[in-house]
Amino acid sequence: MKDETRKFQKFIQKSNLLWSIEREIITNQVFDNHFHFTADDLFIQLNEKGRKISRATVYRTLELLEKSSMVSKIQLASGKHFYEHIFGHKHHDHLICQKCGRMIEFHCEDIEQWQEKISTENNFKMAGHCLKIYGICADCMKKKSKNKPK
Amino acid sequence: MKDETRKFQKFIQKSNLLWSIEREIITNQVFDNHFHFTADDLFIQLNEKGRKISRATVYRTLELLEKSSMVSKIQLASGKHFYEHIFGHKHHDHLICQKCGRMIEFHCEDIEQWQEKISTENNFKMAGHCLKIYGICADCMKKKSKNKPK
DNA sequence: ATTAAGATTGAGACCAAATCTCAATCAGAA
DNA sequence: TTCTGATTGAGATTTGGTCTCAATCTTAAT
Ligand SMILES: [Zn+2]
Ligand SMILES: [Zn+2]
Ligand SMILES: [Zn+2]
Ligand SMILES: [Zn+2]
């Protein structure tokens, strides 16, 4: 079992929930995806591996993974939800190419600090944030090709 | 006709599209909403005024208003879409209360600057951005009541 | 090893938001 | 006035996700 999966198992047990083979399989798959993926990506990957796990269980497990803070959900302007695992990765935000859909990760401590400051000024108890910068990536600027976005 | 509506009419005509009474009614209603609203809010408001305009037309017109850069769409983590008119308002971002759904607007020039800087560093041609800070607002912190989110 | 209590699962029903279809209508140019 | 193409409404469809509930599984207590 992957380290990450074991950590999630501990979370499940601490939360007085039960560990199951489905949760193990899904979690392993989540941590095999080293970039952004959708719930359906995951469902299809599992299917291709011959794992018959229902869509409902995939969604339920992703929700738990989110609660455990090991995975985070990203909403794109297109309305699609992507996930990414964050355990072992430090917090980052995204540059998103409107041409090809490419996502570039970045982290800016100053921006993080300013957000805290603004929240405090507004007597707002910040729990999280979502920053996405939209535009055209370097490749697409060069190519000017019309790759369809994801 | 409102100034804003006239401006949108010009956009429609410049785009080689046709102006229609439905577009006029919807646009007027959009600019009567001085805060955030959903497509359905708009549809209901129009209905209450006795204006029989189909949902499809409301969505289609909001899409055009977005293209004209007079209106922007805000996507919440909950999956709901809100709109707000931006023509005549300066750019701002949002603090969003996870309890009551309240949105507080803010503007932070430093954050704006850092975003430009990051984009440049990544050879990314920034076109726009979306920053949402999630948490609990001052009122909800006090009340601790369980208002349902919008 | 049995049993009981409660959690988890899968299949498919369900849901809300948004988009699509297409015939009827409308706007604007000629 | 006529013509062409754009727009509209009603409802079907799609999408992305949640809910239901009987069957199954996990765990802990006998
Ligand atoms: Zn950040
Ligand atoms: Zn790109
Ligand atoms: Zn609140
Ligand atoms: Zn706003």
All structural domains of chain B, each given as residue ranges with its CATH number in brackets, are 1-89 (1.10.10.10), 91-150 (3.30.1490.190)
DSSP 3-state of A82: strand
- What are the chain A neighbours of B95 within 8 Å (beta carbons)? 118-119, 122, 124, 126
Query: Which two structure tokens, joined as six digits, stand for A28?
Result: 């392993």
Q: What is the mean pLDDT of chain B?
A: 91
* Coil, helix or strand at residue A51: coil
pLDDT confidence of B89, banded at 50, 70, 90?
confident
Residue in chain A nearest B114 by alpha carbon: A111
Do A134 and B141 count as a contact with CB atoms less than 8 A apart? no
CA distance B123 to A112: 22
At residue A132, does pLDDT exceed 80?
yes
Residue B148's pLDDT band, with cuts at 50, 70 and 90, is: very low
CA A132/CA A93 separation, integer angstroms: 6
Ranges A32-36, A126-130, B104-108, most confident: B104-108
Largest CA distance in chain B: 53
pLDDT in tens, A59-114: 999 999 999 999 998 877 666 789 988 877 888 999 998 888 888 999 999 999 99
Ligand 2 center to A136 CA (angstroms): 6
Give me the CA A117–C1' D17 separation in Å, rounded. Answer: 35
Spatial distance between the Cα atoms of A79 and A35, rounded to a whole number of angstroms = 18
User: In the prediction, which pLDDT does B144 show?
Assistant: 59
As a whole number of angstroms, the distance between CA B101 and CA B82 comes to: 11
pLDDT > 50? residue A146: no
Which nucleotide is closest, CA of A57 to its C1'? C9
For A67, the token pair is 């609660």
Contacts of A137 in chain B (CB under 8 A): 122-124
Closest Cα to residue B68, out of B126, B120, B26, B21? B26
Q: Looking at the complex, report in whole angstroms how far the Cα of residue A28 sits from the nearest Cα belonging to chain B.
A: 26
- Write the DSSP string, A76-89: -TTS-EEEEE-TTS
For residues A126 and B115, is the Cβ–Cβ distance under 8 A? no
Q: Per mean pLDDT, which range of A3-7, B53-57, B85-89 is the poorest?
A: B85-89
User: For position A78, what pLDDT does the model report?
Assistant: 65
Does B105 have pLDDT greater than 50?
yes
Nearest Cα to Cα of residue A118 among B135, B4, B99, B18: B135
Q: How far is A49 from chain B (nearest CA, A)?
A: 30
